[in-house]
Amino acid sequence: MSGKGFETVIHGGTVVTASEVFRADIGIADGRIAAVAETIAGGETRIDASGKLVMPGGIEAHCHIAQESSSKIMTADDYRSGSISAAFGGHSCFVPFAAQHRGQSIDDVIATYDSRAEGNAVIDYSYHLIISDPSPEVLEVGLPRAFARGITSFKVFMTYDLMNIGDGGMLDIMTVAKQNGAITMVHAENNDMVKWMNRRLAAAGLTQPRYHAISRPALAEEEAIGRAVALAKLVDAPLFVVHCSTAEGATLIQRERLRGVKLFSETCPQYLALTREALDRPGMEGAKFMCSPPVRDSATQEALWRHVASGTFASVSSDHAPYRFDATGKFANGTEAPYPKIANGMPGIGMRLPWLFSEGVSKGRITLPQFVQLSSSNAARIFGLDRKGAIAPGFDADIAIWNPRETRKATLADQHDNMDYTPFEGMEITGWPETVLSRGAVVVHQGALRAEPGRGRFVARRRVDLTGMPGYRAPELDPARNFGAEIAP
Ligand SMILES: [Zn+2]
C-alpha cells in the first residue's frame, strides 16, 4: 500500500486487538487510523515497531485525579501529572471522577473539573460523575444536562457517611441513568458493618493501619454487591461494580451476568498483587497499602485471577487514589492518626498496565487479546468511547507500542506522578510500553515526554452498549403483566 498522505506509519510490528494477533503496518492520517495493511510505504514519520506489540492505548476508567475526598484532602495528582503518569504507563485516554459535594449543582461540579482538566491533560479524558446528593434538582435537571454533554456514567457509594446515598437514592439514580442511556457505577461495602467494626476496634484500642483491613470484612462487600445487584434488577438498569475485591462478590457477579443481568465489574492490580500482610509493615508503613475495599489474602488473589481469565471482569483498573505518605495526604490528621482518619487509597495509574501485562500475559494467565480487552476495548465499549479502544480504520490513533521482553524493577521514578511511593516498588516486571500515541501524536517515546500539557481533549461519550444483555424484569414492574406497569422505569 502507498504511504501517500499518511502523517505517521507504524511498521514492522505485531498488532494486537481484542480478538486477533497479526503482523501489520498502520497508517495514520488526521489523527485517525486510516489503514491497516501488510506493508505500508511512506509516511512523513515512520515508527519502527519491529519485535514490538502494537496495541490500542490503555483506557483507565477508574482513577481519582484533582479530586478532594469527602474530608477535603486533595489528591496529589492533577490532570497534568495524572495524565503524564497514565501516558508513561501505556494509556492514551482516562476517565477520572468529577465528584459532587452535598448541596453542589451538577453544572458547578462539571465546571469545576473542566477548569482542572483544561490546559493540563496530555491525553484525552472524560469524567464519571460521583453523586452524593441525588436531590430532585440533580435528578431532573443536572443529570439530564450532563448526559446531553456526553457524560454517560456516574458513581454512587454504599459506604462513607458523607457519600452514601442509601438504597432509595440508588434506585432514583439508576432509574434516571436508565432513562438516559447511562450506567451507574457502585462502590459496594455495607456501611453499618464497617462502622460497627470501627467502634469495636476503637474500643479495644486497635487503631494501627493493619486494622483497616480487619475493619472492612469481605462479608461487607459481598452483602453490598448482592444488594446493589438486587436494586439494579428491580429497575432493570445497568450497573458497574467497581473494584471487586472478594471471591464471593465476583462469583455473585458471574452468576447474575449468566442470568442476563446488565452487570459489569472490574478488579484492580492491588487485589491481585498484595495481601493484608502489607499493612503489617512496621510503624505507619502499612498506611501506604490502605485502600477500600482492603486488599485480602492469597486465596482471594487466586480466585480473582480465575475471574479475570474467565471473563467475569470487564477491566482491571488502577483505582489510582494518590495520597502522599505525608501531611498533605495520608497524615493530614497527624502521623499517629488512627486508621479511620488516614486517607484511603493507593496510587497505580502508571503501573496498572505494566503490572497486568507482566503478571497476566508474560506469566501465561491471560492472552494478548484479553489484555487488550481488560486494558482498553471493554472500557471503550461500556463507557461509550466509540472512537477508541480498537485498531481499525476510522478509530482514533490512540496506540501503545510495547516491548514484551523489556524487564524492569518497578520504581517510584518510573511512575512520573506526584507521589512519594509506589506500592509496587521492587516488583519484577516483564513487558513495558515504549511509545504511546494519542490521536496520532507521540506523547511518550522511550522514556521521554513528547507532548505539551493541554493537548488532551474532553471526549463526549455515547450511551452504554448493552447488546446481548437481556436484563431482568421484576414481575411487579413488568409491562407485560397486568400490575405495576404504570410505574415501571
Ligand atoms: Zn476509586
CA distances from 49 to 94, 123, 455 (A): 24, 21, 24
Q: What is the mean pLDDT of residues 379-407?
A: 98
Outline where 154-215 has alpha helix (H).
166-180, 191-203, 210-215
Q: How far is the CA of 25 from the centre of ligand 1 (A)?
A: 37
Whether 487 has a pLDDT exceeding 90, the answer reads no
How many angstroms does the Cα of residue 23 sit away from the middle of ligand 1?
Answer: 37
Q: Residue 67 C-alpha to ligand 1 middle, in angstroms? A: 11
Residue 293: asked if its preceding bond is cis (omega within 30°), the reply is yes
Domains of the chain in sequence order: 56-376 (3.20.20.140)
- Percentage of the chain modeled with pLDDT above 90: 94
Of the listed ranges 91-95, 280-284, 428-432, the one predicted with least confidence? 280-284
Ligand 1 centre from 322 Cα, in Å? 10
The answer on pLDDT for 480 being more than 90 is no
Percent of the chain at pLDDT exceeding 70: 99
Determine the distance separating the centroid of ligand 1 and the alpha carbon of 395, expressed in angstroms: 28
As given in the structure block, the three cell numbers for residue 217 are 470484612
β-sheet bridge partners, residue 402: 53, 433
Span 343-382, pLDDT tens digits = 999 999 999 999 999 999 999 999 999 999 999 999 999 9
Encode pLDDT of 99-127 as tens digits.
Answer: 999 999 999 999 999 999 999 999 999 99
Average confidence (pLDDT) over 26-40: 98
Average pLDDT, the chain: 96
